[in-house]
Structure 1
Amino acid sequence: MTNPNPISRLEYPGSQGANAAPLISPRNYTFLQTYIYRESGIVLDDDKQYLFESRLRPIVIREGLASIDALCDLVATGRSPALATRVIDAMTTNETLFFRDTAIFEVMKTTVLPELIAAAGSRKLRIWSAASSTGQEAYSLAITLLEARIDPSRVEIIGTDLCEQVVERAATGKYVQFEVGRGMPILLLMKYFTKVGLDWQIKPEVRNMVHFQKLDLRGSFAALGKFDLVLCRNVLIYFDATTKEQIIASIAKTILPGGMLVLGCAETLISVDHKYERKVFGHSTFYAVR
């Protein structure tokens, strides 16, 4: 008997054995790669079909569509901008957690932030968390500053992301148990969060230190002003060499004299034309503008 609900036939790759048909036709896979690159600058290689399928499947189900191919066909018509935005958001939201790469935060607490705040003098210390996703990095920075006993009134943290939905969620400062369980030490959780039902809410003293807004790193961000410290971690790896070099150069223009850039542990400026000087603190690497 024919299954009346085509959605129920959607399966993850491999669930029907090695000979299972892919959920995205080659034509639409190429369309998605091109579309995501055009709208976000992010390069998704030919081996990322599992990523498309796992992230777009919930949209297919929510919209009551028959397949991911049907979703692609609808996006291609241009008649549903809201749906197209959801596809972009789904494919450009990166995994994040609190205090990712703990050594970086320890060095910032003991060395980098005290030095930067001293150099700032009477003005505010300005920090930018680029590609901040749902806010864990930005709030980790705020907590690190508080733990370093730096007056929060002397600090401004900006978090930006391409995805409007995650920016809005980051601004709420509310996280589920699974999210705070990833990286947030229990003592800091009890000190800086309040339990609200099954969720955890960042306390106002932390949340008020951070402001979030939507931003495309490929565009101009001169309006953000100048910064003492910029964190652009685990995002440049998704761009092609030309876009990466453009972003690195643009960020350099926002960094104040004596300020620094932090990249992800797997990211380097090797083979990129840049104006940074590499500085190593313990096992952590920072980049100062020359």
Structure 2
Amino acid sequence: MTTATDTYESVSALVRRETSMIYDAGKEYLVEARLRPLAAAAGCTVDEYVKRLPIDPVERRKAMDALTINETSWFRDHAPYQVFSDVLLPRLLEARAATRHLRIWSAACSSGQEAYSLAMLLDQHLPAGWTHEIVATDVSTAMLERVRNARYSAVEVNRGLPATALVRYFARAGNEWEIVPRLREHVSTRHLNLAAPYDGLGSFDLIMLRNVLIYFDQETKHDILRRMRPMVAPHGYLMLGSSETTLDLPPDLAAQWRREQEGRVQVHRPATGALT
């Protein structure tokens, strides 16, 4: 007889195999809440639905999308965006004066609020004649579709978005708000599991890897940070979430990064080839 514990352990193992993310004990309520609508649509119980996942790739993808959705908001935590505008961007403008082009990676982008928050700041602060690209990646195909559609509900636009930004960068689209084309054209999407290779992404002036490492085990976290190092362009930056730290890195990995405190925000730069 299948128990609730068996079902949860099965789901946890599947999520880890598919995404390398960890669902610790105590999150049973979250798993059930996110899978119940999918099970109902499939005409079965949650237990029956979970048994179906290993042999049904379509439902498995739906389940992975549902289980990897993270909380997000516009200009989340505020301070990192302020540091980007006031400190990091002026330095990057100086460093990239020859090319006048910036590349930013919004890793684990969820529904796109981080990527578009950055696009708003660049629209406001980037000098004339400069170009930029924001690459938004996520393991959830459903979330990437939302980034491409760039439509948000009234509830979502009320989560951290200044009223001036709503007026300037959104247009009504039925019951939703749609981001204007001039921002959308700078944001591209790519399906990516952070625990998998980063082939073909190129290097970036800023990588936003915020509030996602906490979902991985220590070994995977270290592997991600090790493979992030060559993705940061010379003079570029890596920014982690406020609840994340690299203080527990093994010596060889710690030596690859240089931590700097900018106000209340800690940023990371490659230990070699950085600005002095």
TM-score by length of 1: 0.88
Deviations 1:66-87 (A, max 9, x none): x2111111113x1x11001111
**Cα RMSD, aligned residues only:** 1.4
| Aligned: 1:166 with 2:143 | yes
Larger Cα-atom Rg: 1
Distance 1:258 1:156 in 2: 17
Go from structure 1 to structure 2 and tell me whether the alpha carbon gap of 1:151 and 1:236 turns closer, same or farther (over 3 Å shift): farther
Which residue does the alignment assign to 1:74?
Answer: 52
Helix, strand or coil for the counterpart of 1:64?
A: coil
Distance 1:253 1:152 in 2: 28
Partner AA of 2:138 in structure 1: D
Give the Å deviation of 1:226. 0.7
Q: Which segments of structure 1 move beyond 3 Å, counting only runs of 4 or more?
A: 149-153
One of 37, 46, 55 as aligned partner of 1:58: 37
Helix, strand or coil for the counterpart of 2:200?
A: helix
| Aligned: 1:114 with 2:90 | yes
| Aligned: 1:253 with 2:234 | no
Partner AA of 1:28 in structure 2: T
Which residue does the alignment assign to 2:274?
Answer: none
Partner AA of 1:167 in structure 2: L
Which residue does the alignment assign to 2:175?
Answer: 198
Which residue does the alignment assign to 1:138?
Answer: 115
Q: Which runs of 5+ in 1 are unaligned?
A: 1-22
Distance 1:226 1:131 in 2: 17
Which residue does the alignment assign to 1:287?
Answer: 268
Aligned residues: 265
One of 276, 279, 285 as aligned partner of 2:257: 276
One of 66, 84, 92 as aligned partner of 1:90: 66
Distance 1:238 1:152 in 2: 40
Distance 1:152 1:193 in 2: 24
Helix, strand or coil for the counterpart of 1:224?
A: coil
Give the Å deviation of 1:150. 3.5
One of 6, 11, 17 as aligned partner of 1:32: 11
Go from structure 1 to structure 2 and tell me whether the alpha carbon gap of 1:58 and 1:260 turns closer, same or farther (over 3 Å shift): same
Identity %: 36
| 8 A Cα contact 1:156 1:210, kept in partner | yes
| Aligned: 1:126 with 2:100 | no
| Aligned: 1:210 with 2:191 | no
| 8 A Cα contact 1:128 1:230, kept in partner | yes
TM-score by length of 2: 0.92
Q: Which runs of 5+ in 2 are unaligned?
A: 272-276
Distance 1:88 1:261 in 2: 27
| Aligned: 1:179 with 2:156 | yes
| Aligned: 1:243 with 2:224 | no
Distance 1:191 1:270 in 2: 40
One of 59, 76, 82 as aligned partner of 1:100: 76
Partner AA of 1:40 in structure 2: T
Partner AA of 2:52 in structure 1: L
Give the Å deviation of 1:256. 1.0
